[in-house]
Amino acid sequence: QQQQQQQRAAHGTPPMAPKPTGSAATQVQQPTSSPRVPSTPKPQQQSQSPTTQATKTQAKAATTTSSAASATAPSVPSAAKPNVQRPTQPSNPLRRQLSAPQLVKSQPQRSRTNQPAIPSRSSKPLPNTGRLTPALAQMRTISFQAMFSSTKTVTGLRNLGNSCYMNSVLQCIAHTVPLTTYFVQGRFRSELNRTNALGCKGELAEEYSQLVNTLMSRQYRHITPRFFKDIAGKYCEDFAGTQQQDCQEFANFLLDGLHEDLNRIQTKPITGALDIDHMSDAEGARLSWEQHKLRNDSIIVDLFQGQFRSTTTCRTCGYKSTNFSPFTFLSLPVPPNGRTTLDACLEQFSQRELMTGDNKWNCPHCKCKRDAVKDMAIYRLPPCLIIQLKRFYFQGPFRDKINTKVTYPTTKLDMSRHAKGTQRSINNYSLYGVANHYGTLTGGHYTAYCRAAETGRWSYCDDSTVREASASEVVSPAAYLLFYTSFDFSRLLSSRL
C-alpha cells in the first residue's frame, strides 16, 4: 500500500483512503447513490503518453482490490439516510392533454366546503319555470335593445330581416285587450300545457308573455323581438330564416300555437263523427261545439273561434247533409277590379256553390256521385273576429295580387244579416287593428294600424317606426287582415285595472 501511495503521489493522483479493519469497519457509512444524469458525448481526447496509461492501469487495479475487500467484509447495517429536501411541486402544474399536443392548465382541486349541497330527498322539486328563469330574463332584456321614450307611446318592433310580416301581426294581436290582460296579469301560467304534443311545450306562450308585457308598458320607442322569433322558427321552419312570409300564415301559426300551449284539456278524448243530418240547426250546432270543446278549450277558442254551417243538397234525391265546423279566420273573396265594400264581400262568401263535373258530391243516399248545391254560412260569431281579404289568387300557372280597395267601417259593423245562428243580435263590431301589404306577390312590405284602448287613437306601425294616424287613412287598398271586436275595450280595460 505504501508503495502504491508513493507511486500515486509521484504521478499527481490523490492518495487512497486506508481500508477500515475490525470494529472501525462497522462505523463506515455507505455512500448514497446520486441521481443518474444522462451522459453527454465527450469530445475525442488526444492520445495519451505511456506514463499516463500505466498510472491509470495501476489505479484500476487498486480499485478492483478495494471492491473485492468490500465484498468479503461482513454485512454492515445501513445508517440513517440524510434528510434530503426535495423541491416542492407548483400548486397548478402543467399537464399535457391526451387528445391534443398543446399544454393546458389543470384545474385546482376544490375543497369539500365548496361542493354543492346534496338536496334533501324529502323536499319537493322546484317547479319548472321554462323560459321564465331569471338568467334567461336578463339575456332577453339585453336582446330587446330597448330604446326608452320620455313619454308613453306605442312601441315599435325592429325588423330582423324581412320580419315585417311578423311585426304587423304582433302589433294587432297585442292590441287585443282581453288576451293581453290575460298575459300581463300572469293568469296564463296556471293554464300552461307543456305535455301537449301539438303545442310548443309552453315556450311560445312564455315568450309571447314577455314580449307583450314589454310592448304594453308603453315606455320604449322600439324593441327587438329576437327571442320570440327564435322560438317561432324553432317550431316552424318557415319562420326561422329571413325569407318573406305571408302574415296571415304567421297569424294562424301564432294563434294555433298559443291555443295548444294553453289548452285546458290535458288528455284529449277520442271523438267520432256526429250524425246530425236529422237534427235542427240549433241542436246540431250545440252538439258540434260541445264536441269541439272536449278537445279544444283555451282562451284562444273563447276569443277568436266561431262556427261555420255547411249544407250540401243532392240535386237528384234532395238528400241534405249539414256540417258544423270551427273557424279562426273569416276569409272573404275580393273582386279583381274596381271598388267594393266589406258587406258585398260577405254576401259573395254566402253565395251558393254548384258542385258538378269533377267536383260532384258523393251522395250518401244515392250511393254515387251526384250534382249538388253547397251553402256556406256563419253560424256562431266570436267576440274577436279576424277577417282575411283574399288578395292573392292562384289559378294554374297564373298568380297575382288583387289591389281592389275594399271599404269597411271602423265602428258599428253590423253582422246580423250574415250570422244565421242564435247570435244574430250581435251587430256592433269595432275595428282595432289592420295588417297592410304593399307591393306585389313576389315581394312587398307589411305594416299595421292599431287603435289604443286607453286613448282610442290610431297609430301606424312600420316595424320600429311608429307615428299617429287618422281614422280616415286606416281604410286603404293595402288592407289584408281586419281585426274586429264586439267588446268595448276601453271599458274592459278600465274594469280590470
Active site residues: 164, 445
Q: How far is CA 356 from CA 134, 348, 372, 395, 496, in A?
A: 61, 19, 7, 19, 54
CA-closest candidate to residue 479, choices 248, 226, 280? 248
The total of other beta-carbon atoms located within 10 Å of residue 396's CB is 5
CB of 401 closer than 8 Å to CB of 379: no
Find residue 485's DSSP bridge partners.
Answer: 384, 430
- The DSSP string of 302-365 is HHH-EEEEEEEEETTT--EEEEEEEESEEEEE--SSSEEEHHHHHHHHTS-EEE-GGG-EEETT
Which one-letter DSSP state was computed for residue 472? G
* Closest of 327, 340, 475 to residue 402, by C-alpha: 340
> CA 204 to CA 19: how far, in whole Å?
96
Cα separation of 483 and 410, whole Å? 10
C-alpha cell at 21: 479493519
Q: Count Cβ atoms below 10 Å from residue 408 Cβ, excluding itself.
A: 20
Burial class (CB in 10 A: 0-12, 13-18, 19+), 165: buried
b or e along 292-318 (b: 16 or more beta carbons within 10 Å of the residue's beta carbon)?
bbeebbbbbbebbbbbbbebbbbeeee
Q: Mind giving me the DSSP string for 104-172? A: EEPPPPPPGGGSPPPPPTTSPPPP--TT--HHHHHHHHHHH--EE-SS--PPEE--SSS-HHHHHHHHH
Query: Measured between alpha carbons, how far is 136 from 230 in angstroms, rounded to an integer?
Result: 14
CA-based nearest residue to 159, from 445, 401, 358, 469: 445
